[in-house]
Each structure stands twice: as structure tokens, then as C-alpha cells.
Structure 1
Amino acid sequence: MTFLDALPFGTGVALAALTGLVLGSFIATLVLRWPAGRSVLGRSQCDDCGRVLRAIELVPLLSAMVARGCCRKCRAAIDPFHWRVELGSALIGATALAVMPGTTGWIWALLGWMLLPLALLDARHFWLPDRLNALLAVTGLLLAGPLLGASLLDRWIGALAGGVILSLIAWGYRCTRGGDGMGGGDPKLVAAIGCWLGWQALPLMLLLASLGGIVWALLVQRKGDQPLAQRPVPFGVFACTAAFATVPFWPLISAR
């Protein structure tokens, strides 16, 4: 039994939520700054007047509530993206520890926290950075064994199978339709997810991701503001969401 397993249920959930708040603040900064070529590690400042923010103004969620979503100096509105990501990251941690108390829950939460910036970057910029995909893959190979009980070999096979399957789909679309139907980061992301789930649970993840994409396509088609065939699909968003959801669902459907 580890220290994490010995934590009382409520303490574990609260600690995971607090950890998620802190990580969410960093994730929001990364998603906003990295695509713009800005340093992720620089001091936080008001986007409008450039005032450097004090430590007391960087407390996740609480600072935004106290300041009522505005800069203390110029009163310009603070992008609500910050507190929304912080809240989402906290919910990832709390959900993981509420459903799976102990070490396994923390590993699941870590998966969710690593998937969150990838999903957000794909949703906002259709970009799945190789460095984040590689970090996700390496972390999965090193730590994800207890998550679904997949052996290291099973996770290596999952990585290979995920990458090959998505690459073949992209190649087939290019041959038949004469254009790219999938971004280059999608096969790498699915390969990295395979490093966490193993090959056995990978079909469930792909099924859930495909269903999410179909629902999204139907909703977009109803709006009718742009032909669906001309609209880029953020498949990474659905793959990340499906990967997180697969963790609790796979043991239920695979139990004998």
C-alpha cells in the first residue's frame, strides 16, 4: 500500500481537485501562449495593460472571483478561458479519485491532465504538438501499468497498433479523395494513448472517439453555416475524451 492508497476518500478527492486547479492554471497559460510563440514560463501579466500580476492574483478560481473577472488596474476583462480550464482540470482530478480511490485514480487523473492541453490545442488551433504527444507516450509506458492492468508489451503493441491504424486511415483517405482527411498529429496521439490503455482497450477508445465525432458532425450539419465536408474535424478532442472515458468503461465490458 502506498501513501496515496492510505489517504481517506474525501482527502484524496479534495487533494486531487486542488492539484487539478494548480495544473489547470499552467495548462491554460500553455494553451494561450504556446501557439502565439510566447514563453510559457514568463511572469503572468494583464493582456491589456501589461501589468505583472502578483502572486495573490494568481490563486486559481479564487483570484478571478475576487477581481470579478477584471484587471485590478485597467479593469479590462480577463479571458474566462483561464478559470474554465482550471475548473475543468479540478473536475478531472476529483472525478478520477471519486471513481477510483488510491494510486490507480491518481494515474487516471494524470492521464486526464496530460490529455487536457492536447484536446484544447486541437480544439482551438487544430494542433497536436509532437512534444506533448511524446511526453504522453513516455509517461504511459513508464507509469500506466496499474491503470488497466495492461503489461508493458501490451502497451507497446497498443502504441504500434494505434499509430498504424490511424496512419492507414489517413493514407486511404488521401488515395481515394485526393486530400488530407486527418492531421499528422492524430496518429501520434492515438499511438501515445495506446501506451496508456494497451491494445485490448484501444478498439473501445476508437469507437467512443468515432461516436463523438459523428455526434459533433450532426450538430455542425444542423447549423448549416459551412458544408461539413469543408470543415476541419478536431479528432484529437474526441480521442482525448474517449481515452479518459475508456478507463472506467473497459473493466465493465471486459469483465467475465
Structure 2
Amino acid sequence: MTTLEAELTVLAALTGLIVGSFVNLVATRLPKGESIAWDRSRADCCGTVLSARELVPVFSWLVQRGRCVHCGAKVTARHPIIELAGAGIGVWAALASPTLTAAILTALLGWQLLLIALVDADELWLPDRLTLPLLVSGLIAATALPDTTLVDALLGTVFGFASLWLVARTYRQLRAREGLGGGDPILFGAVGAWVGWIGLPSVLLWACAAGLSWVAARALARRPLARDEPLPFGPFIVIGGWLTWLYGPIGIG
């Protein structure tokens, strides 16, 4: 690794920490209908407005020993974990990408997917405000990178949406209840804009493998998934989309 590459990797990590903090903010406020851009950051426990030194990603949580300096309440480790996840995505993108443009777009994809996965995991909700920008950025990436085409991205969008929409509709007609959320086909179509139509089967394979692994882990931990317990599929599509984007469709060199 050259000095320039090392510096860019460090920059990607620092940027990822900041983005991760913002992702956590959006994931918390968006489901509540709260303002994202204008309201000052406040402590979840007591509502006190936080100062700049209390908002330094990861560092502030460590210095405060995981507690609010105003009321002493415990602050969940979710905050530094998401911030570190943002940093990890930035570093991963920097190391896995052949060009600066590819690294920026890959990091953008990863941060969007992180936010979408968090919201769906927390709220069983895939809002258009998150999935449609993912689609648009995928189309932009298709025009900006040499190994992708806009036609493939558009076909990926159409086939991705149509395939899961048909699955959801068929399930509803056969079982008289919902099997997939309305946002899942849109998310799959948006991921298709990034990976193209040829990457869609790989996304599903990764997603199913991740979902089955999660169910198995729950069972091993003696917390088996109840028969009527909803399972958000969005986070698993996110995993499939990320891995397919980075490493290509399964079985294709």
C-alpha cells in the first residue's frame, strides 16, 4: 500500500465515522417523523441538547463511559457500533475499489444500505425516501463506472422489482395474507440498479443464506423465531446486494 493509498484509507475511515453518526441520527428520527436537518442533537434519555464535544463519533461515548454526562443514564452501545460500521464500510470500499470514483460510489452504496437495513430491522419499514435515492444513485454509478452500463442497471431495476412483486402477489393470493412488505420489491429493484440484472440471483442467494443463518443462530441461542413473528427481509437483501456489488455474481469470474 502506498502512502497515498494509506492516507485515503484513513480519510475513508474518518468520513465513515461521521457518516455512521448521521446514519444513526436518521434511523432514529425518520420513523418518528422528526426533522433531520434542523433540530439540534439531543440526549435520548433526558432531551438535553448535546455540545460538539459530546458528539465526536466513538470517542465521546468512550470518554463518557457509555453514560449521559447530564443525567447519568446509560447510553446504548448502538451509537459507537453504527459509527464503527460506517468507518468499516469506508475502509472496505477504499481497499476493494480500483479507482477513487469507484471507492466513493461503493462507500455511498454501503452507507445507504446500512441506513436502510437499520430502519427495516427496527421498524419493519422500507420507506421510499430511502429506497428511491438508492435506485437513483445506482443509475448514476452505472453511467460513471466503466464496467457497468445504464441498460443493465435499468434491466436490473425492472426485473428486481417485478420478481419480488410477483412473489408477494402470489403469496398473498395463495395464503390470504402478506408474505413480503411493500418496500421489499422496491429495495430489490434499487439494488438491481447497482448490480444489474445478472447480479439479481446472487443477491437472492446471499440474502436467503443470511436469513437462514440468522434463524439458525436464533434457534441455537434458544430464541427461536415464532411462527407468526415477522422477519424483516430488507437487511438480508442489503447483505446480498453489498456482497454481489463487491465480489460479483456467484459463479461468474
Q: Same fold (TM over 0.5)?
A: yes
Question: Pairwise CA RMSD of aligned residues?
Answer: 2.0
Matches within 5 A, 1:1-256: 8-41=4-37, 42-101=39-98, 102-145=100-143, 149-222=147-220, 228-250=226-248, 253-255=251-253
Q: Distance in 2 between matches of 1:171 and 1:58?
A: 45
Q: Distance in 2 between matches of 1:113 and 1:7?
A: 25
Question: What's the CA shift string for 1:147-199, capped at 9, x where partnerless?
Answer: 58221011000000000000011111112212110000000000011111111
Shift of 1:135: 0.6
Amino acid at match of 2:131: N
Q: Distance in 2 between matches of 1:54 and 1:156?
A: 45
Amino acid at match of 2:119: L
Amino acid at match of 1:239: I
Amino acid at match of 2:252: S
More displaced, 11-20 or 143-152? 143-152
CA contact (8 A) 1:107 1:147 kept: no
Shift of 1:146: 5.2
Shift of 1:203: 1.2
Q: Distance in 1 between matches of 2:25 and 2:44?
A: 12
Distance 1:34 1:225, change over 3 A: same
Shift of 1:106: 2.0
Query: How many residues get paired?
Result: 250
Q: Which has the higher helix share?
A: 1
Distance 1:44 1:84, change over 3 A: same
Q: Distance in 2 between matches of 1:225 and 1:141?
A: 40
Question: What's the CA shift string for 1:113-161, capped at 9, x where partnerless?
Answer: 0111100011111111111111111111112445582210110000000
CA contact (8 A) 1:24 1:90 kept: yes
CA contact (8 A) 1:130 1:185 kept: yes
Distance 1:182 1:226, change over 3 A: same
Amino acid at match of 2:16: G
- The TM-score with structure 1 as length reference comes to 0.90
Q: Which runs of 5+ in 2 are unaligned?
A: none
Secondary structure of the residue aligned to 2:199 is: helix
Shift of 1:200: 1.2
Distance 1:145 1:214, change over 3 A: farther
More displaced, 22-31 or 139-148? 139-148
CA contact (8 A) 2:142 2:149 kept: no
CA contact (8 A) 1:29 1:82 kept: no
Secondary structure of the residue aligned to 2:158 is: helix
CA contact (8 A) 1:217 1:228 kept: no
Residue 3 of structure 1 corresponds to none
CA contact (8 A) 1:108 1:147 kept: no
Amino acid at match of 2:93: A
Shift of 1:22: 0.6
CA contact (8 A) 2:202 2:250 kept: no
Over the matched positions of the two proteins, sequence identity in percent amounts to 40
- The TM-score with structure 2 as length reference comes to 0.91
CA contact (8 A) 1:145 1:196 kept: no
